[in-house]
Amino acid sequence: MEKVKQKDLILYSGLIILGLAAPYLFSAFKVQLTYLCVLIVLAMTWNLQGGEMGYNSFGNILFYGLGMYLTASVQVGMFFPLAEWTESGGEKTFVHTTAQYFQGIGVGLLVSAIIPAIVAGAIGYAILGLRGHYFAICTLGLGIAAGEIAGGIEIIGAGQGFTTPPFPAEIVDVEARGKFFYFLSFFVLVLAFVFVKYIYGSRFRLILNAIRDNEDKAEAMGIQTMKYKIVGWMVSAFFCGLAGGIMGGLIGYIDSTDVAFDGREMGVFMVLMAILGGKGTLWGPIIGATLFHFFKEGLWTFILGWQYVALGVLIVVIVIYFPEGLMGWLREKYPERFGEVIDEKDRKSQVELK
């Protein structure tokens, strides 16, 4: 037992060192690395309720977009009138000082984590009473409705979009912006990983799995399923909001349907990444997100214009042929590695039967 722990320790410290050194090692890819961190966070937290709880949500994009708008609004609204900022549409009538920028983004991220979690808690009771595909369609509707409604609200820029505050010009170092966002996203990634890892070792995960496998039975065993479902969704919303806030600052421009509530990209990506890696495993979504990101970045530029066709075909192929994902496939191939004990006699007798 002690040996395994030591192996884990080496793995984790290795990964953290790699993560901290990455922006210096691959300094041209800082934006891509930030994307990767955000994608992993999204996939991992989607997996909490999609994979563990069995509630396949298409609507986590709602919290992502909400976080994005909240961070930017707080960052602007703390120091300047928000309506005038959005009306000028990116014209630099107001300029954040360095201190204002960092204070703003700090408070903004805090708000963008807490409010989506509260929203998830508030609508959770109504929405999580739906099961299976009704939940999936309902959350799909929620995500798109949010995008359409945000595109009609004047104070956050409506259809014109919302320019987030530019990185303070007083910082001369050109690398600073990339590094700042990378370390911010890496910190959130570590936070999310530690939290998810903690959940994986707790009773909470077992309850979520019970809900996934048979909700009626779980209820009959005396588990207040609704309470746990809501908490599970709130955890997802918390991290989705944070991820959205970071992405808003990184992209620098928020459009209601193409950046914030982007159900056609981010909303599908998080589901796809989790399924690609393997739903209901700790490492699956991480591996899935990494693979997907490499695939996307590597292929997108070669097939410019056709990327959505490739994405659609990829979804169909993954869903039909690899619904268990990479981890599921490995698990079938090497069950011993996953701690599953196989009765050799039983296995042989089954082979003979065939």
Partner 1 sequence: MDFLIFQAPMLMVQASLDGILLGILFALIAYGMALQWGVMNIINIAQGDLVILGGYIAYTMYLAGIHPAWGVIVSPILMYFVGWGLYKLVINKVVDRDLFISILATFGIAIVFQQLMNFIFGADVVVAQSEYGTTMLFDNSVTLPNSKIFSAFVSLAYAVALVVYMKKSRLGRAIRATAQNARAAKILGVDTEKVYAATFGINAALCGIAGALISITLTLHPYVGLPYTVRSFMIVIVAGLGNLPAVAISGMGLGLFEEFADYILGTEFRIGAVFMLLVFILVYRRFKLSKKREYLK
For binding to partner 1 (CB under 8 A), which residues are involved?
56, 126-127, 129-134, 136-138, 140-142, 144-145, 148-149, 151-152, 158-159, 264, 268, 271, 275, 305-306, 308-309, 311-316, 319-320, 323
Enter the tokens of residue 223. 């588990």
∠ Cα 4 6 8 (to 5°): 70
Q: Cβ closer to partner 1: 147 or 165?
A: 147
**Residues 269 and 42: beta-carbon distance below 8 Å:** yes
Rounded least distance, CB 215 to partner 1, Å: 9
Q: Cβ closer to partner 1: 33 or 62?
A: 62
Rounded least distance, CB 266 to partner 1, Å: 14
Checking DSSP bridges between strand 253-254 and strand 162-163, what pairing results, if any? antiparallel
Q: In this structure, is the dihedral angle defined by the CA atoms of residues 242, 245, 250 and 255, taken in order, positive or negative?
A: positive
φ/ψ (deg, to 5) at 97: -80, 170
Rounded least distance, CB 350 to partner 1, Å: 24
Q: How far is CA 330 from CA 178, 209, 343, in A?
A: 36, 21, 19
Rounded least distance, CB 161 to partner 1, Å: 14
The beta-strand segments (E) located in the chain are: 162-163, 253-254
Within a 13 Å sphere around the CA of 354, how many CA atoms are in the beta-carbon half? 5
Q: Cβ closer to partner 1: 9 or 149?
A: 149
Rounded least distance, CB 176 to partner 1, Å: 37
Distance between first and last Cα of the chain? 38
Rounded least distance, CB 116 to partner 1, Å: 17
Q: Cβ closer to partner 1: 81 or 323?
A: 323
Name the nearest CA neighbour of 114 among 266, 237, 279, 289.
Answer: 237
Name the nearest CA neighbour of 257 among 141, 142, 151, 138.
Answer: 151
For tokens 């994979």, name the residue: 51
Rounded least distance, CB 133 to partner 1, Å: 4
Q: Cβ closer to partner 1: 18 or 319?
A: 319
Q: Cβ closer to partner 1: 231 or 314?
A: 314
Q: Cβ closer to partner 1: 264 or 331?
A: 264
Q: Cβ closer to partner 1: 223 or 268?
A: 268
Rounded least distance, CB 262 to partner 1, Å: 13
d(C-alpha 283, C-alpha 290), whole Å = 11
Name the nearest CA neighbour of 146 among 75, 64, 84, 49.
Answer: 64
Three-state DSSP class for residue 58:
coil
d(C-alpha 76, C-alpha 81), whole Å = 7
